[in-house]
Structure 1
Amino acid sequence: MINPWVIDAAYLMLTAALILAFVRLAKGPSLPDRVVALELVASIVAGMVGTHAIDTGVAAFLDIAIVLALMAFLAAIGFARFLERGGPRDD
């Protein structure tokens, strides 16, 4: 059994990372930077869901975390394809 303070520390670190990723998402400076920040936000959310799965012991949350990570990966590929084909850029 994992100590509760370890789970709390993981939630705290993930929350801090999420806040910093949102700051990067808002500030930019360019569209590719924002795309990377959006991918990071999705990965952090998947990590939070995984941490919640460990905390509660419900294995179904791991399936949700895997689906979130895969969807974020596919969205990042879509954004990269959009930028590669000459989408709007501000850099």
Structure 2
Amino acid sequence: MIQIMLVTSLILFGVAIAITFIRVVIGPTFPDRVVAMDTIGVNLISAIAIVSILFQTKAFLEVILILGILAFISTISFSKFLERGVIIERKRDS
């Protein structure tokens, strides 16, 4: 019973990632695309956790951590770019 629920949720996460990817491609504005990419990251982390439960291993936990950190950093970078137009500010000596 639990196996069926896990496989069903994995399929639903795959469908959610596919629909969100369409939003990344077609999205009308850049902030919509940033939110969609962050949503893909969260759904992908959840799907990897389900795969880890299905395979009964802890090997994917490091992948989840790294993916979470990368998703967070990319969201912060895109939001800084939207706010200021640059990601890394440099002080210029005049």
TM (norm. structure 1) is 0.86
* Shift, 1:31, TM fit: 0.4
Q: Which runs of 5+ in 2 are unaligned?
A: 87-94
Q: Write the letter of the residue equivalent to 1:46.
A: I
The residue number in structure 2 matching 1:66 is: 65
> Counterparts of 1:67 and 1:43 in 2: how far apart (Å)?
12
Deviations 1:28-76 (A, max 9, x none): 1100000111111111111111111111111121221122011101110
Identity of aligned residues (%): 29
Q: In the alignment, does 2:35 pair up with 1:36?
A: yes
Runs of 4+ in structure 1 over 2 Å off: none
> Counterparts of 2:52 and 2:62 in 1: how far apart (Å)?
10
Q: Which has the higher contact order (CA 8 A, sep 6+)?
A: 1
Equivalent positions of 1:1-91 (< 5 A) are 3-86=2-85
1:5 aligns to what SS in structure 2? helix
> Counterparts of 2:58 and 2:66 in 1: how far apart (Å)?
13
RMSD (Å), alpha carbons: 1.4
> Counterparts of 1:11 and 1:80 in 2: how far apart (Å)?
30
